[in-house]
């Protein structure tokens, strides 16, 4: 019998450890890490222990409370695992452990990690606790394979992607705790993501004057002002369809008013209404110019409303993730192994959301998104009820990532 190739050795090790990998992922899903509220220290501690049980040395980097609170969170600990195989480039594998709250409509316990017909259900099982398992077990297979590698693999497991990433990957880079040569960041589909939108979150506060509902003429109705502003914003967003991106997978800018709060009681003229706007920024747009234009639009309308005081506050301005030189090498390797293992063509495209990947790319590091997932985020029920992951997709994606890293460090 001919000896196995390096690739066959790595794939065989991943196959053998797959039951353990499934148990590892289930443990991560069972520990809540909803953001908001963003109290994620307990999940980071559990993840660190599980990683140590695999034989890894885990660095725990606790983000100071003041910085965590500034991001609207309660606690965050960033985890780094470093495995040096010798002189050569550093490949970082980044995934986030914070997740959106479950919401309604589940047919399974969001924290139960229930498995039905080879599919695991749970909040974060696809976005992106799955890639804690993908990346950890890819590295485990590389260690056990004995394949000659030249360079370093780092696992970056962070906890503020749902709040923008600034105290996750942004914090690690700012404090010079890492400087990788390549980054693979958490994915959610078979395709390789090479670009994504940026995002502006803007809070609008409209202040009027309260009054008894029997004498509304003595007050200034902040809710009435808000309805005028809403109508104007929805008219504005219809114009965005004419601003087209050239990146496959990304169409045009979008705008959503995702949160509105206000009023005192049924029989009181509302004195204050706040709303939060989500404006997605395509790669071709300048984020600062987008923010300036939206602020100007809101300010102009509110100046025409007597008695209304306007306050605007930026919550987040996330830069778009744009295609960059050096990325093509990552794409080519992942596509080659992905097509071989998945048995189908693997596309390289953009997505209309935003992720932590932009923070590495902004430092000039070739970066892509790739990890465990089905053909689309919608198919995985990402950010929706009954979020799910095929465990076969987890196994195969782990093989793709391990072989990609092995080639980068060959």
Is pTM beyond 0.85 here? yes
Structure tokens at 361: 């790319």
Please say whether the beta carbons of 167 and 68 come within 8 A.
yes
If you ran DSSP here, which 8-state letter would residue 268 be given?
B
Cα(159)–Cα(79) distance, rounded to whole angstroms?
A: 9
Measured CA distances, 27 to 265, 387, 409 (Å): 45, 16, 31
Token pair 């998945």 is at which residue? Answer: 342
- Residue 152 phi/psi, 5° resolution? -130, 140
Q: What is the 3-state secondary structure (H, E, C) of 179-242?
A: CCCEEEECCCCCCEEEEECEEEEEEEEEECECCECCCHHHCECHHHHHHHHHHHHHHHHHHHHH
Q: How many CA atoms lie within 13 A of 46 on its CB side?
A: 18
Q: Tens digit of pLDDT per residue, the chain (410 long)? A: 668 899 999 999 999 999 999 999 999 999 999 999 999 999 999 999 999 999 999 999 999 999 999 999 999 999 999 999 999 999 999 999 999 999 999 999 999 999 999 999 999 999 999 999 999 999 999 999 999 999 999 999 999 999 889 999 999 999 999 999 999 999 988 999 999 999 999 999 999 999 999 999 999 999 999 999 999 999 999 999 999 999 999 999 999 999 999 999 999 999 999 999 999 999 999 999 999 999 999 999 999 999 999 999 999 999 999 988 899 999 999 999 999 999 999 999 999 999 999 999 999 999 999 999 988 888 999 999 999 999 999 999 999 999 999 999 99
Instruction: Please tell me the predicted confidence (pLDDT) of residue 1.
Output: 64
Give whole-number Cα distances, 26 to 19, 29, 276, 337, 354, in Å. Answer: 11, 5, 34, 27, 26
**8 A C-beta contact, residue 352 and residue 244:** no
Question: What one-character DSSP code corresponds to residue 263?
Answer: -
Q: What is the pLDDT of residue 8?
A: 97
Distance CA 240, CA 251 (A): 10
Beta bridge partners of 278: 201, 256
> Which pLDDT does position 324 carry in this prediction?
86
């Amino acid at each position: 019998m001919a000896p196995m190739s390096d690739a066959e050795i790595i794939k065989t090790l991943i196959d053998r450890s797959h039951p353990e990998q499934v148990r590892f992922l289930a443990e991560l899903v069972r520990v809540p890490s909803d953001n908001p509220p963003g109290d994620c220290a307990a999940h980071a501690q559990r993840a660190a222990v599980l990683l140590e049980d695999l034989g890894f040395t885990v660095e725990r980097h606790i983000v100071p409370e003041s910085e965590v609170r500034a991001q609207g969170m309660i606690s965050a600990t960033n985890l780094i695992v470093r495995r040096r195989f010798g002189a050569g480039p550093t490949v970082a594998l980044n995934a986030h452990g914070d997740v959106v709250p479950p919401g309604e409509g589940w047919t399974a316990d969001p924290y139960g990690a229930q498995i039905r017909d080879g599919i695991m259900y749970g909040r974060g099982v696809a976005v992106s606790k799955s890639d804690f398992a993908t990346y950890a077990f890819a590295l485990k297979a590389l260690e056990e394979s004995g394949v000659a590698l030249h360079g370093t693999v780092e696992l970056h497991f962070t906890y503020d992607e749902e709040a923008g990433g600034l105290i996750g990957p942004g914090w690690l880079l700012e404090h010079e705790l890492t400087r990788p040569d390549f980054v693979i960041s958490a994915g959610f589909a078979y395709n390789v993501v090479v670009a994504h939108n940026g995002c502006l979150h803007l809070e609008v506060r409209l202040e009027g004057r309260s009054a008894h509902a029997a004498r509304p003429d003595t007050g200034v109705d902040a809710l009435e002002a808000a309805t005028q502003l809403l109508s104007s914003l929805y008219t504005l967003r219809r114009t965005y369809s004419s601003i087209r991106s050239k990146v496959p997978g990304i169409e045009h800018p979008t705008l959503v008013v995702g949160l509105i709060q206000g009023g005192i009681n049924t029989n009181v003229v509302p004195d204050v209404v706040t709303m939060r706007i989500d404006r997605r920024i395509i790669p071709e747009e300048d984020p600062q110019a987008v923010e300036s234009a939206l602020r100007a639009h809101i300010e102009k309308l509110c100046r025409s409303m007597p008695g209304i005081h306007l306050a605007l506050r930026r919550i987040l301005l996330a830069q778009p993730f744009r295609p960059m030189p050096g990325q093509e090498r990552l794409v080519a390797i992942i596509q080659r192994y992905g097509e071989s293992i998945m048995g189908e063509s693997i596309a390289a495209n953009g997505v209309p959301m935003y992720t932590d990947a932009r923070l590495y790319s902004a430092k000039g590091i070739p970066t892509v998104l790739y990890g465990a997932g089905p053909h689309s985020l919608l198919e995985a029920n990402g950010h929706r009820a009954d979020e799910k992951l095929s465990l076969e997709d987890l196994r195969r994606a782990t093989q793709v990532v391990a072989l990609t890293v092995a080639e980068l460090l060959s």
